[in-house]
Amino acid sequence: NVSKEQSPAVSNIVRKKLGGFVGFANLPNQVHRKSVRKGFSFTCMVVGESGLGKSTLVNTLFETSLYQPKTLPELGSELSSTVGIENISADIEENGVRLKLTVVDTPGFGDFINNDSSWDPIVTSIESRFDQYLEQENRVNRAKLNDNRVNACIYFIQPTGHSLRQVDIEFMRRLHTKVNLIPVIAKSDTLSEEEVDSFKRRILADIEYHKIEIFKAPAYEMEDDETIQENSEIESKIPFAIVGSTQTIQTGDGRSVRGRSYPWGVVEVDNEEHCDFTKLRQMMIRTHMEELKENTGILYENYRSEKMLAMGVQQDATVFKEVNPTAKAVEEKTLHDAKLSKMEAEMKLVFQQKVQEKEAKLRQSEEELYARHREMKESLEKQRGELDDKRRRLESGRPLTPERGGGGAQSTQKKSRGFLRS
Ligand code: GDP
């Protein structure tokens, strides 16, 4: 038993106090420096009908004008009838830390009269990114893997105040096993506080009913109370009710804020009293970006093993077991013997087949010989009859018929000799 054999080794660990500074306490700093040098990357997908504020939110989240202001299609121009997949990448930097940010937009999703299967191009895009990664992993040279996998998918829910629509449920049901889903209530400034609360409750009930797994900030036992508190506060806000705006506005009390100005006041994007934008940003960027990436790895592994299983590759669990040499030798011998007897049986079968074929051939030539013999005998008897007839004619003094002339018997003899020779 492996675990039993390992247990003494585990119990041998002795806690020691170090006499001086060794230096491995510096390991986190080494990792930190290396990561900063290498830079980070993050791929985020945004899904929702057009006009729900996707581009505004991305610009607000990363404080960049990643998306240029959209130009409306001209009246009468033909609109696309399919969901597109568009990548926008930018290298952004904050305090010397570089982040390669890629936003995957899905223009057209939910914009049609019939939105059945509008999730298909999105599922295909996510899977093909997994496939690309898998293909790179299987290469001989895997020194540098290009990772395009989607780390998070912000799903924009229309601020209807009712509950999830069929298209929302269908989309999330298909995507939740392939991507970290972050549902958000778009343009939440269009709903009152109570409406947002009851809408959130209904959305969560729908999500639970349909067994949809959304990304939640995980809480670890080792973490300090403050972090646990922070995480539970983040979780309590899911699905985040957000407001997006990149505009800076002066408030009545003289502050400059990012927000949206209305005749009755200003909605502040970064004010937790007004919306959950800061909580979304905290989770996605400040505290759980690495968690999202790690979880992407888990989703990828699930996808990978499912794909391998579908291809008929099964992980050999015995590889991980400790191998008993005697048992292995016995197993090998049994396998060898089985192989030998199989070969012997096959050879026997081939031999039998060959013998049968030979016998059949011999039988056939024997029959042919008999037939020939019979034929020859009949023809000789016929000739003898003819000769007897001639002899009788000669003896009785009757002349032979002209065509059978004097050489008749001779020619018959010749013929018969010729026949015998052949
Ligand atoms: P997209 O098509 O989903 O990318 O939507 P846009 O970001 O282009 O936004 C469409 C319109 O909605 C623009 O006029 C935005 O100013 C506005 N908008 C964006 N976010 C919000 C929001 O949180 N609240 C409100 N009321 N309007 C918003």
Q: CB of 383 within 8 A of CB of 416?
A: yes
**Ligand 1 centre and the CA of 219: distance in Å?**
33
Measured distance CA(5)–CA(189) in Å, rounded: 62
55 lines ligand 1 (CB under 6 A): yes
Residue 210 lies in a domain: yes
CATH number at residue 169: 3.40.50.300
Looking at the fold, whether 236 and 371 belong to one and the same domain comes out as: no
- In Å, the largest CA–CA distance within the chain is 163
54 lines ligand 1 (CB under 6 A): yes
52 lines ligand 1 (CB under 6 A): yes
Q: What is the pLDDT of residues 331-348, one digit of tens each?
A: 788 888 888 888 899 999
Domain that residue 339 falls in = 329-399+410-421
**Mean pLDDT along residues 215-239:** 81
Residue 324 lies in a domain: no
Relative to the CA of 70, which ligand 1 atom is closest? Answer: 8
pLDDT of residue 250: 87
**Ligand 1 centre and the CA of 1: distance in Å?**
62
Q: What is the 3-state secondary structure (H, E, C) of the chain?
A: CHHHHHHHHHHCCCCCCCCCCCCHHHHHHHHHHHHHHHCEEEEEEEECCCCCCHHHHHHHHHCCCCCCCCCCCCCCCCCCCCCCCEEEEEEEEECCEEEEEEEEECCCCCCCCCCCCCCHHHHHHHHHHHHHHHHHHCCCCCCCCCCCCCCEEEEEECCCCCCCCHHHHHHHHHHCCCCCEEEEECCHHHCCHHHHHHHHHHHHHHHHHCCCCCCCCCCCCCCCHHHHHHHHHHHHCCCEECCCCCCEEECCCCCEEEEEEECCEEEECCCCCCCCHHHHHHHHHHHCHHHHHHHHHHHHHHHHHHHHHHCCCCCCHHHHCCCCHHHHHHHHHHHHHHHHHHHHHHHHHHHHHHHHHHHHHHHHHHHHHHHHHHHHHHHHHHHHHHHHHHHHHHHCCCCCCHHHCCCHHHHHHHHHHHHHHC
Looking at the fold, whether 302 and 343 belong to one and the same domain comes out as: no
Measured distance CA(18)–CA(16) in Å, rounded: 6
Looking at the fold, whether 110 and 225 belong to one and the same domain comes out as: yes
Question: Which of the listed residues 45, 52, 56, 70 should we mutate to test ligand 1's pocket, taking the one with most ligand atoms within 8 A of CB?
Answer: 56
Looking at the fold, whether 121 and 248 belong to one and the same domain comes out as: yes
Q: What is the pLDDT of residues 124-170, one digit of tens each?
A: 999 999 999 998 888 878 778 888 999 999 999 999 988 899 999 99
Q: What percent of the chain has pLDDT over 90?
A: 40
Looking at the fold, whether 300 and 342 belong to one and the same domain comes out as: no
Q: Which of 315, 344, 359 is the last residue of a domain?
A: 315
Looking at the fold, whether 264 and 183 belong to one and the same domain comes out as: yes
Looking at the fold, whether 200 and 277 belong to one and the same domain comes out as: yes
Mean of the per-residue pLDDT values of the chain: 82
ipTM, two decimals: 0.97
Residue 302 lies in a domain: yes
Residue 31: pLDDT band (50, 70, 90) is confident
pLDDT of residue 141: 81
Give the highest mean pLDDT range of 79-83, 152-156, 327-331, 401-405.
152-156
53 lines ligand 1 (CB under 6 A): yes
Looking at the fold, whether 119 and 65 belong to one and the same domain comes out as: yes
Relative to the CA of 56, which ligand 1 atom is closest? Answer: 7
Q: What percent of the chain has pLDDT over 70?
A: 84
Residue partners of 317: CB distance under 8 A and separation at least 6:
none
Kindly state the tokens that stand for 314. Answer: 């099964």
Looking at the fold, whether 417 and 279 belong to one and the same domain comes out as: no
Domain count across the chain = 2
Residue 20 lies in a domain: no
Relative to the CA of 69, which ligand 1 atom is closest? Answer: 8
Looking at the fold, whether 374 and 229 belong to one and the same domain comes out as: no
